[in-house]
Structure 1
Amino acid sequence: MKVGIMSMHRIPNYGSFMQAYSLKKMIESLDHEVCFVDYQVEPSITKRKRPDEWIKCFIKNKKREWFNRGIIDQILHKEEKEKDIMRSCNGLLEIDENYAFHCKVDVLVIGSDEVFNCTQAGENVGYSPELFGKNARAKKIITYAASFGDTTYDKLQRYGVTDDLMKWVSRINNISVRDNNSKEIITSLCKKTPIINLDPVLVGNIEKLKWKKPDLEYEYIVLYGYEYRFSKEECDKILHFAKSENCKVIALGERQFKSDIFIKCRPDEVLGYFSEAKYIITDTFHGSIFSIINHKKFVSLIRKATPQSSGNRQKLGFLLEQLYLQERLINSIDELSEKMHKNIDYVNVDKIREEERNKTMKYLENCIGER
C-alpha cells in the first residue's frame, strides 16, 4: 500500500519531528510505502468572518502549492534555510521544502499530535478541514493517536463548527485518539467510539536507534519547555537545585530566562541529550515522553490555561495516568527536589508500553489492510 501521513511534520519542534518519524517507521515495518501529505490552513476559528484573513490564507496556500522553492524564495531565504537547524533532518522524513498537497494514496493516516486542535491559532496550525479528511485523495482514511489538545466540545459549539466536523469525521473509516477529551468529542460528534493509542514516540522503540550523544564533561539537567515559559523565579529555583546536585542546567531547544547553557541541537540529537541527562525538568507532553523512553528521573510542571496560552494539565495528566506516573506531576517548582528524587518503576512502565505497542501494530495492520 501507499500510505500517506498527514501530521504536524513541518512544525519546528522536536516532539513534532519525533512523533512523525516514529509513526513513519512503524508503518514501514509493515512493508508499506510511506509519504507525508501536507495540509492547508484556513483562517483561525476566531477570524473566519474577516475577508482579509481569507485572502491572506489563499495567498499563503497558493504560494506553497504553486511556487514551492521558487527562484525568488531561494534568493531571499537561502542563507536562513541553510542555517535552519530544526529542518536539518527533513531527510529522515523524506520531505523537502516542496509542499506535497492533495497526494493520491491508498490510505491516509491523520495523526498523531494535535491534528484536531482546530481552535488554536498559528501559521501552520489551526482550522484545517483537510486534517479531518476533507478532500482526501485516498481509498481509506484513518487516524492514529489524534488529539484535540485543549479544544473542547463546548468550544466547538461556541464557534459553530460542530456540523462541519460531524460531516467530515463521520467519513473517517477508523478513528484512534490519544486522550479522553478527544474520545469524548469524537463520540459527541458522530457517535463513534474511537480507540485510544499512545503517542508514536512511546510505542515506536525509536530510543533503541543509534542517536548521536553529546560529548560533555559535566553532569547536566535538561530544562525543556517552550520559549521563556519557565519564569525567572522558576529558573532561579531550578538553578539552585542544580547547584545542590553539582549539575549545570541546559535549556534545550528553546531559551529560558535563566540557565547555565542554551543548546539548539538538531532533531536527531535531542534524544541523545535526554539519554545522558541526570534529571529532566519539563512542562511539555513530548518532553515527558522523551524522559520516559530514556528511563530518566523527571518532573512535569503543570501549567494553568491563560488568555495568552493553553494549559497542559489535561494532556499531561492523562498521559502520565496511563503509565501510572502521576507522581511525576508538580503544581509548583517548589516540589522539585521532593518529587525528583523519588524512584520510578520503569519495569512496569515498559510492560505497559510493550502492550500498547502490540495494540498499535495490530490497529495499523488491520486498518491499513493487506500488504
Structure 2
Amino acid sequence: MYKKEDVSLKIELVTMHRVCNYGSALQAYATQSVMERLGHSVEILDYYPERMHFSGMLKRLKNKKEIFENNPVLCFIAQCIIFPSYIKRFYIFRTFMKKHFKISSVRYNDLGSIQSSPPAADVYCTGSDQVWNSEWSEQVDRAFYLDFGSPITPRISYAASFGKAQLDDNEFNEIKLLLSKYKYISVREASGIDILNKMELPGELVLDPTLLPDKSQWSKLASDRYRDKKYILLYNLGREPELYDIAYAYAKKLRLPLYSVSYNLHEFVKPGRLLFCPKVCDWLSLIKNAQCVFSDSLHATAFSINFNTDFYVYYPGRFSTRLASLVELTGLKNRVLQKGKVPENENIDFSEANAAVQRERKLSFEFLTKALEAQQDGKDYITCPTS
C-alpha cells in the first residue's frame, strides 16, 4: 500500500491550501504527503482568488450578517475589531504553508490567469476540502473543476466535497459537464456519491486525507506543548452558543479547565480559556492530549478519532453531511450531541472505529494507487464502482 511506484508522475494539486483554517491546511499537507509517499512529485497550484486574501476576507464581513450589510458604519467597526485577529491568523497559516507545502512558482488570482498559462503536469488533481461547495466559493469555481490546461491531461479528484446534500438546479448541468472530463472521481461523503449517481457519473467514497496518515505519523508533526496538561477542548467553528454552554458545563462537571480555540481575539469573552489562533502543530497537540474534544468541525472530529481522543460532535445547521458521514462510518453516532443535553463522562471504545478507519484507509490508498497507475500505463477511463 505504501510502496513507491517505478514511474514518478508530476501531479498538479488544486485544493484549499490558502484558506486560513486548521482543517484546510492539514488536509492539503496530508494529500501532498500521501501522493509523495506513493512515489510521485506533487506541486500545489497556488490558486489564490481575491476572496481568500486578507482584504477580501475583510470586505466579505458585510456578507456574514444582515446587520452588517445594511449598516456600513457597523460593518466598518466590525472590520476594525477583526483586523488584529486576521494579522495573526494569516501569519500562522502562511508560516505553516511556507514550511510544509511545495507550491507553484506562479501565483494565480483567477481562472483566466490559469487558463492563459496552465502548469505542465502528468495529472491534474482536485484535492480534498469543500472545493466543490459553490456557496462557500460564491460561485461554481471552475478552477477547482480543473477547467484549464490540455484536454488530454488526465484529471482526477481525491476526497473532494460538495459541502451539501444536493446541488442547486441552476448549477447541476454545469458541474456535471465539468466532472465528465475526469477520469477518476472520489468524494469524502456519502452524499457526494448520491450527487454523482444523479449525474450518472462513477465515483468512489474515500477517507478525508487527514485520516490516511495514522496516529504515529501525525504525532511527529504535533508539538509537545500540551502533553502534560489536563483539559477539555472546544473548537466551535460555527460559534454555536449551545455548544459553548454544553462544553463549559461538561468541563465544570469534570472539574477541568475548558480551553477554547478561536481565530478571533475578541472572543475572550466566551466561556473557558481562550487559545487565540495557536500554531498548527500546537492545535494538533491540543486534540491529541485533550481529555475530551467538543467540536462542530469535521477535521477536529477526524483527528480526535485518529488520536483516539474522546470527543463529542455538534452538527452545525449547514454543511453537516460531512460530519454525519464520518461518524456513521466509524460507528460513533452516539457521540453526536443532543440538543440541550450535557453528556455523561463516558470513554469511547475505539476498537470498532479504528478497524473501520484501517479498512477504509486501505481502500482509499487502493483507489489513489489505481487512479495514478492508470495514468502511468496510459490506460483509458476505467469505470469506478459507485458503492
Q: TM-score, normalised by structure 2?
A: 0.75
Distance 2:123 2:129 in 1: 18
Q: Which residue of 2 aligns with 1:361?
A: 365
Q: Which residue of 1 aligns with 2:135?
A: 119
Q: Which residue of 2 aligns with 1:254?
A: 263
Distance 1:353 1:140 in 2: 29
Q: Which residue of 1 aligns with 2:40?
A: 32
The gaps in structure 1 that reach 5 residues or longer are 44-78, 305-309
Q: Deviations over 1:1-35 (max 9, x none)?
A: 10111111110000001111111111001111010
- Alpha-carbon contact 2:88-2:277 (below 8 Å) kept: no
Runs of 4+ in 1 over 3 A off after TM superposition: 38-43, 79-83, 95-98, 215-218, 253-256
Distance 1:81 1:260 in 2: 18
Confirm or deny that 1:197 pairs with 2:203.
no
Counterpart of 1:357, as a letter, is: R
Q: Which residue of 1 aligns with 2:161?
A: 147
Q: SS state of the match for residue 103, structure 2?
A: coil
**Aligned match of 1:239 in 222, 225, 248?**
248
Structure 1 pair 216–167 and aligned structure 2 pair: CA distance change class (3 A): closer
- Alpha-carbon contact 1:40-1:128 (below 8 Å) kept: no
**Aligned match of 2:329 in 322, 346, 349?**
322
Q: Which residue of 2 aligns with 1:270?
A: 283
RMSD: 2.7
Q: Deviations over 1:157-208 (max 9, x none)?
A: 1xx233322221111000001112211222222x122100010111222424
Distance 1:39 1:166 in 2: 22
Q: Which residue of 1 aligns with 2:297?
A: 284
Distance 1:42 1:254 in 2: 20
Q: 1:99-118 counterparts in 2 under 5 A?
A: 99=107, 101=114, 102-118=118-134
**Aligned match of 2:234 in 204, 216, 223?**
223
The gaps in structure 2 that reach 5 residues or longer are 1-8, 52-85, 109-113, 378-387
**Aligned match of 2:341 in 332, 335, 340?**
335
Structure 1 pair 136–118 and aligned structure 2 pair: CA distance change class (3 A): farther
- Alpha-carbon contact 2:160-2:186 (below 8 Å) kept: yes
* Post-superposition offset of 1:329: 0.6
Distance 1:42 1:99 in 2: 12
* Post-superposition offset of 1:240: 3.0
Distance 1:296 1:80 in 2: 31
Q: Tell me whether 209-218 or 133-142 shows the greater mean CA deviation.
A: 209-218
* Post-superposition offset of 1:299: 0.3
Q: SS state of the match for residue 135, structure 2?
A: coil
Structure 1 pair 329–17 and aligned structure 2 pair: CA distance change class (3 A): same
Distance 2:285 2:50 in 1: 37
Q: Deviations over 1:260-279 (max 9, x none)?
A: 23232111221111111111
- Alpha-carbon contact 1:115-1:131 (below 8 Å) kept: yes
Q: Which residue of 1 aligns with 2:182?
A: 172
Q: Which residue of 2 aligns with 1:66?
A: none
Counterpart of 2:250, as a letter, is: F
Distance 1:282 1:199 in 2: 17
Q: Deviations over 1:60-104 (max 9, x none)?
A: xxxxxxxxxxxxxxxxxxx95897112211120123896254321
Identical positions, percent: 24
Structure 1 pair 81–2 and aligned structure 2 pair: CA distance change class (3 A): farther
Q: Deviations over 1:130-173 (max 9, x none)?
A: 211211457210001111002623x1x1xx23332222111100
Q: TM-score, normalised by structure 1?
A: 0.78
Structure 1 pair 243–32 and aligned structure 2 pair: CA distance change class (3 A): same
Q: Deviations over 1:321-350 (max 9, x none)?
A: 011111111132x33323xx2332312222
* Post-superposition offset of 1:237: 4.2
- Alpha-carbon contact 2:165-2:195 (below 8 Å) kept: no
Q: Deviations over 1:209-229 (max 9, x none)?
A: 2421215764211100216x1
Q: Which residue of 2 aligns with 1:76?
A: none
Distance 2:174 2:296 in 1: 33
